[in-house]
Structure 1
Amino acid sequence: MFTVVHACLRNGRGGSPTAVLDESPMPDEERRLLPGRAGASHAVLIAEDGALRFFTSEGELPACGHGTVAALALLAHRTGRAEHLLRVGGRTFWGRALVGEDGLFDAAFDPGPISVRDPSSDEISEVSEALGLAPTGTACVATLGRPRLLLPVADRATLAGLAPDLDRLRAASERFGLLGCYVYSVPDAEGRAAARMFAPAIGVPEDIANANSTACLAAHLGLDLRVDMGDSLGSPATVVATTQPSGILVGGAAVIDP
């Protein structure tokens, strides 16, 4: 019924398992069950015209970056073509997935326009308290499909030590209409960073890889980034985002389960 694609691997390992299947008549309640059946956090459905729909156990999402990477890899595998025209949320765009000698697909796409604003003091305070962090004024709220809080920490050790109160974080996210919180270490001189994405409000306590939030961070900082994720979940992942004159290009490596 579905194919599992591991998206945004690091050095050929780990990645975020994603259920990918062709769109077919079924109720949304059935679509919400797909991630759990696949042992994944997300499922992506591909229509014949290239339209993508994304689901978690909580319902449909307007966009999903690692789900788009997974869909591009499967489409390239099926057709032998690298480039594919996709539609997400009424937006039409090209994505590509190149297969290498190692059998991995290198997928990338333009996630679309990103807007950034300063968070309110209440947003910073409530989310930071749920994460167990001292509030910081350097956060931002970035919107790509849905808004999410981007919150920096000093280093990878601080990031690794986070143990958020997920009930409080869910309540804060729902109160402020946030997808969740993307906590990241300050990038080094080469644009390498680490991040953890907590999104209990959409049924994902922590995401192995979150490409759209990484694209948001690249837009916010104006930097090319390689962001490591998933270590706390035992599935190392890396998301790559590059700044282009026309916007951000985001993606990563992917492999299809045999």
Structure 2
Amino acid sequence: MTVTSAPALYRVLSPPGSEGGRTVAVFSDASDNLQTRATSSGAPLSVFVGAADVAGVSLRVFTPDKEKGTSDSGALAALAFLQPRGVLLDVVDVTMGGEVMPAQLCGGEWLLRQGDVTAREVETDFSSLGVTGKTAWVASAGRPNLVMEVADAAALEGFTPDADAISSLNRETDTTGLILFTMGGPNRADVSFRAFGPLKGFLEDGASSHMFACLVGVLGGTGRLPTTTNMIRGAQRMPGAPSRLTAQFTPAPDGAADVWVGGRAERVQP
């Protein structure tokens, strides 16, 4: 693969006709000072391609300040960069930060396996959040998240997160993040949601594959996944930074669901 100094810029998980999603700089090599190159890219996320062959790819991911370890958005951008070059098969392993994650190309979009997702209903008082909810679940794909359904799109869009209230509720329920959702959404989305994680070091995430996978597990456990397809679209509605994610699911007899999440990665420059 040719070594180049300039990265290719991708917009990942953006809704159709929107400037949302995440901007990722993809470098075709992993040489020299990667942190300096990531900082100079001007992108909030930079991914460097190390080894790549038909069966897999090795990546390193950086923010402008430090090495990130793993990033689904970074992986999706790198796979979209490599796929038209004939480097990869349609099913590959992605290695990042010492972890290996299977990926597959489906309908022109790359999806990453999130694992087996489990969900169970819980009783909790979430009035401290200042939003009227219906029911709550704990869903996990390795890390448990509290999932709550709100009344409608207006309640979802109008929610103002309070880091202390969310953190307290997560501690009470032994969860690490909070997902609020309502069914339906823009651009023919099946479900709309927002994702919060002050205990993880961020207030709100604009594009979270892991949290969408947990939400898919809840929808499966409540019988609201499609029956005529194994795909579902989610509209993540962080104010000012919307995203659209795609999930593929395979329900299991024990109530768990094997979930893959990804979406489109569009090259924007050069």
CA offsets per residue over residues 203-232 of structure 1, 9 Å max, x none?
332222222222222232221421112461
1:74 pairs with one of 74, 81, 91? 81
1:16 maps to a residue whose letter is: R
1:215 matched residue in structure 2: 213
Describe the shift of the 1:143–1:196 C-alpha distance in structure 2 as closer, same or farther (beyond 3 A): same
2:259 matched residue in structure 1: 248
2:14 pairs with one of 9, 23, 28? 9
Matched, 1:86 2:89: no
Q: Percent identity?
A: 27
Which of 7-16 and 168-177 deviates more?
168-177
8 Å CA contact 2:24–2:74 kept in 1: the answer is yes
2:181 matched residue in structure 1: 184
Q: What are the residue-to-residue correspondences of 1:27-106 with 2, within 5 Å?
A: 38=42, 40=44, 46-48=49-51, 50-52=57-59, 64-76=71-83, 79=86, 81=88, 83=90, 84-87=92-95, 90-96=99-105, 106=109
Secondary structure at the aligned position of 2:115 is classed as: coil
Secondary structure at the aligned position of 1:218 is classed as: helix
Distance in 2, matches of 1:75 and 1:54, equals 16
Distance in 1, matches of 2:65 and 2:201, equals 5
TM-score normalized with structure 1 length: 0.70
Secondary structure at the aligned position of 1:209 is classed as: coil
8 Å CA contact 1:16–1:209 kept in 2: the answer is yes
Distance in 1, matches of 2:40 and 2:174, equals 25
Describe the shift of the 1:59–1:69 C-alpha distance in structure 2 as closer, same or farther (beyond 3 A): same
1:157 matched residue in structure 2: 154
RMSD: 4.0
Secondary structure at the aligned position of 1:158 is classed as: helix
Secondary structure at the aligned position of 2:13 is classed as: strand
1:112 pairs with one of 112, 115, 119? 115
2:244 matched residue in structure 1: 238
1:229 pairs with one of 236, 254, 264? 236
Structure 1 unmatched ranges of 5 or more? 100-105
Describe the shift of the 1:228–1:51 C-alpha distance in structure 2 as closer, same or farther (beyond 3 A): same
Q: Between Structure 1 and Structure 2, which shows a larger proportion of helix residues? A: 1
Distance in 1, matches of 2:67 and 2:129, equals 25
1:102 matched residue in structure 2: none
CA offsets per residue over residues 143-182 of structure 1, 9 Å max, x none?
2242222211121111001001124324544676644211
Number of corresponding residues: 240
2:192 pairs with one of 191, 194, 198? 194
Describe the shift of the 1:130–1:12 C-alpha distance in structure 2 as closer, same or farther (beyond 3 A): same
Structure 2 unmatched ranges of 5 or more? 226-230, 253-257
Secondary structure at the aligned position of 1:250 is classed as: strand
Distance in 2, matches of 1:174 and 1:214, equals 21
CA offsets per residue over residues 32-88 of structure 1, 9 Å max, x none?
xx6998553x66565426345667799887864434323322332555546332236
1:95 maps to a residue whose letter is: Q
Secondary structure at the aligned position of 1:111 is classed as: strand
Secondary structure at the aligned position of 2:16 is classed as: coil
8 Å CA contact 1:207–1:230 kept in 2: the answer is no
8 Å CA contact 2:213–2:259 kept in 1: the answer is yes
Distance in 1, matches of 2:136 and 2:68, equals 24
Distance in 1, matches of 2:202 and 2:64, equals 8
8 Å CA contact 2:176–2:197 kept in 1: the answer is yes
Describe the shift of the 1:60–1:158 C-alpha distance in structure 2 as closer, same or farther (beyond 3 A): farther
